[in-house]
C-alpha cells in the first residue's frame, strides 16, 4: 500500500494564492504544508521538509516551476518525490510537457480551495496505477 500523503512542499510566488491554498490544504485536507514563496526558498527548505509531495507553481519570477523541479531533483531529499504542477496555462501540449518533466498531474488555476485537498488526494491515490 502506498504511503499516505501527509507533508506537502508548496511553492507559489503570489502571497494571496499561497495563503488560500495553504489554509485549504491544512484546514480541509489536514496536511502539513511547507509553503515557500520562491524556488530558491524551496531548495533551502527541501532537505529538512520531509515532503511526500512537491506542489509547484509553474510561472514564477527567477526560478520557474520546471527549473525549481530540476534543482529539487538534484537534492537527495527530493530526488524521487512526486510532483504536481499548478498553472493557468493548461493547453494539452503544455500539460504533456509538464508530464514529461515527471509531474504526476497538473492542477488548473484558478483552483477551488474547498476542492483542492480532495483533488490532490485523488491524484495521490491514482499515481502509479
CATH assignment of the domain containing 91: 3.40.50.2300
Q: Which residues constitute the domain of residue 110?
A: 7-126
Kindly state the cell numbers that stand for 84: 504536481
Domain count for the chain: 1
In a domain, 98, yes or no: yes
In a domain, 2, yes or no: no
Kindly state the cell numbers that stand for 17: 494564492
In a domain, 1, yes or no: no
In a domain, 45, yes or no: yes
Tens digit of pLDDT for each residue in 81-108?
999 999 998 889 999 999 999 999 999 9
Of 71, 111, 67, 122, the C-alpha closest to 87 is 111
In a domain, 88, yes or no: yes
Q: Are the C-beta atoms of 6 and 52 separated by less than 8 Å?
A: yes
Tens digit of pLDDT for each residue in 2-29?
679 999 999 999 999 999 999 999 999 9
pLDDT of residue 47: 97
In a domain, 106, yes or no: yes
- Dihedral sign from CA coordinates of 60, 61, 67, 71: negative
In a domain, 33, yes or no: yes
Alpha carbon distance, N-terminus to C-terminus of the chain: 12
Amino acid at each position: 500500500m502506498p504511503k499516505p500523503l501527509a507533508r506537502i512542499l508548496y511553492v507559489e510566488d503570489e502571497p494571496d494564492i499561497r495563503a488560500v491554498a495553504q489554509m485549504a490544504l491544512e484546514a480541509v485536507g489536514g496536511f502539513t504544508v511547507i509553503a515557500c514563496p520562491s524556488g530558491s526558498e524551496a531548495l533551502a527548505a527541501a532537505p529538512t521538509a520531509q515532503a511526500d509531495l512537491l506542489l509547484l507553481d509553474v510561472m514564477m519570477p527567477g526560478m520557474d516551476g520546471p527549473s525549481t523541479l530540476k534543482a529539487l531533483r538534484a537534492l537527495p531529499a527530493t530526488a524521487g518525490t512526486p510532483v504536481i504542477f499548478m498553472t493557468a496555462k493548461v493547453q494539452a501540449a503544455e500539460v504533456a510537457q509538464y508530464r514529461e518533466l515527471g509531474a504526476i498531474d497538473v492542477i488548473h488555476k484558478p483552483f477551488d480551495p474547498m476542492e483542492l485537498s480532495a483533488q490532490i488526494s485523488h491524484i495521490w491515490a491514482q499515481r502509479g496505477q
